Amino acid sequence: MFIVWISVALIIASLVFLGSTAVKTMKEAKPVITKMNATITRIKQQTDTIKMQTDHLTATQARMTEDMEYKKNAINYPVNEAKQIVPRLKTLWAATPFSDVISKK
């Protein structure tokens, strides 16, 4: 029976030792966990800032693309119309004059 009581005492002593070690470890780990949480918060804020900047740049890029397309069309229309002047003049030159049409009647 003496061995049973010694075994029980050893188990209780080991549980107390385990508990005290766990508490000590938790106390030592608490500052590290706090630093990690602060770092995670900073990283999340930086990620959010980068996401906002990315969205802003995407919007700016879309506006610039739209503006460039508008300006390209504004330049291409007069250029294309100018290219049509010569064929239209040739067609006009080759047309029968109105005075000839009236005199034949």
Per-residue three-class SS string for the chain: CHHHHHHHHHHHHHHHHHHHHHHHHHHHHHHHHHHHHHHHHHHHHHHHHHHHHHHHHHHHHHHHHHHHHHHHHHHHHHHHHHHCHHHHHHHHHHCCCHHHHHHHC
Q: What is the mean pLDDT of residues 9-19?
A: 94
* pLDDT value of position 86: 86
Q: What is the pLDDT of residues 35-84, one digit of tens each?
A: 999 999 999 999 999 999 999 999 999 999 999 999 999 999 999 988 88
For the full predicted model, state whether its pTM sits above 0.75: no
